[in-house]
Every structure is written in structure tokens, then in C-alpha cells.
């Protein structure tokens, strides 16, 4: 394996570890630290540079990921303003959208929605079983985002290793 794919593989593995930390933190605290979203955003810089050095055009390496992340951020802020999504969730999803880029962004959103439904169901079932008011149950949506974000990271790694 050459140096660039090895470096990209390592950076995606770090991103997956950061996402796992975000999921665990969201499960425990129902908050996602800004630092984790910032780390993911920071990982985009060397990943975009490595992709550009590997021959990708500037729009593929930099343009589309930035546009997609901006669209995800605006959509997420709309959901945040209506109380349907937490601010940490919005930032985490926008950060991982940078790493997903055009190739994986639609599946990122789809898998996040599907996993989010499962997490919401499990959260509500847990509240019901423990006798807590269902209306007060806070869904740790960061778990769903982390799941789909890890899928992106592992899909990218698989592509690099192929």
C-alpha cells in the first residue's frame, strides 16, 4: 500500500473513533462536545489534500464536500430551530458530511434517518419499560449519526484497500 492511501486509511480510522466517542458521550450526557465535531472538520483538510494529490479535481476534493456540508448544516439548523434536532447533532452531521462528500452523502443521510428511527424506537421503549414519561425521553440522535458516519469511514477505507 502506498503512503497516501495508508494515510487516508488512518485518518478515516481516526474519524470512526471520534464518531464512536461522540455516540458514547451522547448516550451518557445527551450532548455531543463541540471538540469532536471540530476534530472531524479538521480531518477534512488533510483528506481533501490527499484526494487532490491522488488526482481528484478540485470540485471533487473540496467543492462538493463543502457544498454538501453547507446544505446539511442549513437543513440541520432548520430542524434545530423547530426543536426536532439538537445543536450538537447538527454540527456532528455537517462535519461527517464533509468526509462523506458527493459519493456517500445521500447514503449518509438515509442511513442516519433509518438508524435514527431505530434509536428513537429503542429510547421510547426504554422510557415505557422504566416508567418514565415518554414525552420527556431525549433521543440520542448522535448514535445514529455516528453509526452512519462510521459506515462512511469504513466504506471509504474499503475503497482505498480495493
pLDDT tens digits, 112-123: 999 999 999 999
For the chain, the average pLDDT equals: 95
With a cut of 80, say whether residue 3 has pLDDT above it.
no
Residue 86's pLDDT band (boundaries 50, 70, 90)? Answer: very high
Is there a contact between 140 and 30 (Cβ–Cβ < 8 Å)? yes
**pLDDT confidence band for 5 (50 / 70 / 90):** confident
> Residues 6 or more apart from 32 whose CB is under 8 A from it?
22, 25, 26, 86, 88, 89, 91, 92, 142
What percentage of the chain reaches a pLDDT higher than 90? Answer: 87
What angle is formed at CA 13 by the lines to CA 26 and CA 16, rounded to 5 degrees?
20
Angle at 151 between CA 150 and CA 152, to 5 degrees: 90
Q: What residue spans of 30-140 are helical by DSSP H? A: 34-53, 58, 64-81, 87-130
Read off the DSSP letter of residue 34.
H
> Taking Cα atoms as reference points, which of 147, 140, 148 lies closest to residue 88?
140
CA distances from 24 to 4, 30, 36, 99, 146 (A): 30, 9, 12, 20, 9
What 85-88 contacts at long range (C-beta under 8 Å, 24+ apart), as own/partner pairs, is 85/141, 86/30, 86/31, 86/32, 86/141, 86/142, 88/26, 88/31, 88/32, 88/33, 88/34, 88/37, 88/142
pTM over 0.95: no
Total Cβ atoms within 10 A of residue 21? 16
Amino acid at each position: 500500500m502506498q503512503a497516501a492511501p495508508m494515510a487516508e486509511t488512518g485518518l478515516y480510522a481516526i474519524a470512526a473513533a471520534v464518531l464512536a466517542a461522540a455516540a458514547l458521550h451522547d448516550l451518557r450526557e445527551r450532548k455531543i462536545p463541540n471538540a469532536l465535531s471540530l476534530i472531524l472538520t479538521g480531518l477534512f483538510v488533510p483528506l481533501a489534500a490527499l484526494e487532490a494529490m491522488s488526482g481528484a479535481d478540485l470540485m471533487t476534493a473540496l467543492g462538493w464536500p463543502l457544498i454538501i456540508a453547507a446544505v446539511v448544516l442549513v437543513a440541520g439548523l432548520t430542524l434545530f430551530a423547530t426543536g426536532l434536532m439538537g445543536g450538537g447533532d447538527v454540527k456532528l452531521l455537517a462535519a461527517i458530511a464533509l468526509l462523506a462528500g458527493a459519493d456517500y452523502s445521500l447514503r449518509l443521510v438515509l442511513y442516519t434517518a433509518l438508524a435514527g428511527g431505530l434509536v428513537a424506537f429503542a429510547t421510547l421503549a426504554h422510557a415505557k419499560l422504566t416508567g418514565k414519561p415518554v414525552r420527556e425521553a431525549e433521543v440520542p440522535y448522535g448514535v445514529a449519526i455516528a453509526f452512519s458516519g462510521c459506515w462512511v469511514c469504513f466504506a471509504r477505507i474499503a475503497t482505498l484497500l480495493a
